[in-house]
Amino acid sequence: MDKRKLGNTGLEVSEIGFGSWQLGNTTAWKGASQKEAIKLVHQALELGCNFFDTAPNYARGNSEKILGKALNDRREEVVISTKFGHFSDGTVDYDFNLIRESVENSLNSLQTDYLDSVLLHNPPFEFLTGSTPHFEILQKLKDEGIIKAYGASVDTSEEMLALIENTKAEVIEVMFNILYQEPRKVFDKAKEAGVGLIIKVPLDSGWLTGKYNKNSNFTGIRARWSQEVIERRAQLVDKIKQIKSDQRDMVDEALRFILSYPEVSTVIPGIRNRNQLEQNLNANNKEMLKSLQKEYESFYKDNLAGNELPW
């Protein structure tokens, strides 16, 4: 597995990381048992994946706990990023007075004495401007050696720019994929600032696997999509399939597109089983032709720029 620098943090991460939102999550589908989930994490390690993204609220706290059990005796081999703001009981609270307690709880669940990265979990915009004590507290935790780096998980270029210009954020997790390229406009500024980029939602919640169409039905969090949105997404995916060669897998194509940008440090698709793990990691060390990258950029400009799909 090829590795890339996580900005100027001094950390190196696998190009394909492990998105742990689904790890231990049995509320929306029949998820893996704890034993199966731990085995999946070990398989990822064997295949060269060393970056694990999690949060206190993922699987109501089970995600961090499973990673803690799975990685306990291999801590120095991996990079773990968790978050602050969403809690295991389902509450959302960005009160800066809760940061230290949240970090300590994550340390406990992950069975470690340090965290590689802690991110504010999609906070209100005002917290990204440096006008609140959040990043001062994170810096203090870094000075104490409890965390190695910090930043925020966001969705837009405006939020990225606020972090880059107003804080000492070293890591930004941002949504970016073939169907949502808006944040790309500030990738260069992130690179100039030495900020590592973690790319979330790389498969557009499953649409870029190619397995959904206009007749697909969705439950859980995906039930938020209206029929109009489903039909529009299906039409756009059909256009992507026309750009893609028949010889190339949809998942492979979607991940390689993201990795074609050198500013990106790692991509974190969700992983539920061994097949998904192997499919995701297959995109590693495969370059996308510049002409094909530009074709996908043109596709976005012509079909989506200024008229983004509702998330």
Domain boundary assignment for the chain? 3-206+249-288
* Cα distance between residue 57 and residue 80, in whole Å: 15
Calpha distance 222→205 (Å, rounded): 8
pLDDT-derived band at 32, boundaries 50, 70, 90: low
Q: What is the DSSP letter of 250?
A: H
Quickly state the pLDDT bin for 282 (edges 50, 70, 90). confident
Q: 19 in helix, strand or coil? A: strand
Q: Which pair of structure tokens corresponds to residue 35?
A: 């034993």
- Of 26-40, 91-105, 137-151, 187-201, minimum mean pLDDT range: 26-40
Looking at residues 5-33, what average pLDDT do you find?
A: 85
The pLDDT value recorded for residue 30 is 57
Mean pLDDT of 24-33: 64
User: Which of 236, 225, 209, 272 has its CA nearest to residue 217?
Assistant: 225
3-state helix, strand, coil in the chain (%, to 5): 45, 15, 40
Distance, CA of 276 to CA of 198 (rounded, Å): 19
223 or 124, which is more confident? 124
Report percent pLDDT > 70 for the chain. 98
pTM: predicted TM-score of the whole model, two decimal places: 0.96
Contact between residue 86 and residue 98 where contact means Cβ atoms under 8 Å apart: no
Band of residue 25 on the pLDDT scale cut at 50, 70, 90: confident
Residue 27 has pLDDT above 70, yes or no: no
The answer to whether 267 and 259 are in contact (CB under 8 A) is yes
E strand or H helix that includes residue 79 = strand 79-84
Q: Is 286 left (phi over 0), alpha (psi -120 to 50) or beta?
A: beta
Q: What pLDDT, on the 0 to 100 scale, is given for residue 29?
A: 54
Q: Of the given ranges (26-35, 110-119, 220-229, 273-282), which has the lowest mean pLDDT?
A: 26-35
Confidence check: pLDDT of 26 > 80: no
**Average confidence (pLDDT) over 54-62:** 94
pLDDT score, position 221 = 83
pLDDT of 33 above 90: no
DSSP state of 117: E
Return the minimum-mean-pLDDT range out of 29-38, 122-131, 262-271: 29-38
Dihedral sign, Cα of residue 102, residue 15, residue 183, residue 7:
positive
Under the banding of pLDDT at 50, 70 and 90, the label for residue 115 is very high
* pLDDT-above-90 percentage for the chain: 85
pLDDT of residue 248: 87
Q: Which of 25-34, 188-197, 221-230 shows the highest mean pLDDT?
A: 188-197
Q: What is the pLDDT of residue 300?
A: 98
What is the average pLDDT value for the chain, to the nearest integer?
A: 94
CATH architecture label of 3-206+249-288: Alpha-Beta Barrel (3.20)
Residue 264, CA distances (Å) to 187, 239, 261, 311 in order: 8, 25, 6, 22
Does the pLDDT value for residue 291 go beyond 90? yes
pLDDT for residue 262 is more than 90: yes
Residue 82 has pLDDT above 60, yes or no: yes
